[in-house]
Structure 1
């Protein structure tokens, strides 16, 4: 168990710097990645390509967004009432 945690810590990578969002407040970056993830998946599926290239958006979304926002936005997305154009 301890070795598993050490391996996870050793392989942990944070999201890269995005010059569109240079400030410490990452709310807009969080929201943008929330929209970009399904957009990417939709576009890759339409092309018949592998959706694994969208993993970067998922990783940034999970690292920037608070869990309460994630669950609320995921619920709204599943209902089709998300307040953003996907």
Structure 2
């Protein structure tokens, strides 16, 4: 089994099982990974560190979330009306 983040990203196919979201409905999982991606980017960018570990969250939310949701959330972030705390 791969141990490093780079190996996991290279072997990534689809979102793995997340015990926080055991049900079939993956809406909350989608939204949480979207938030985690943006929080990760914000935190690492503020410290002038490499943001490549955040790519994991991006790949997960892109495989779970409908494109229309992501587009709407991106637009809301730009306008300052996004409901989540980033």
Q: Across the two proteins, how many residue pairs are aligned to each other?
A: 76
- 1:28 corresponds in structure 2 to 28
Give the unaligned 5+ runs of structure 1: 1-10
1:77 aligned residue: 77
Report matched runs for 1:60-75 at 5 Å. Answer: 60-75=60-75
Within a 5 Å distance, the mapping from 1:1-86 to structure 2 comes to 13-86=13-86
- TM-score, normalised to structure 2, is 0.82
Q: TM-score, normalised by structure 1?
A: 0.82
Structure 1 segments of 4 or more deviating over 2 A? none
Gaps of 5+ in 2: 1-10
Structure number, greater radius of gyration: 1
CA RMSD of aligned residues (A): 1.3
Q: Cα deviation per residue 1:21-76 (whole Å; 9 max; x = unaligned)?
A: 01110000011111111100011111211011100110011000011111111110
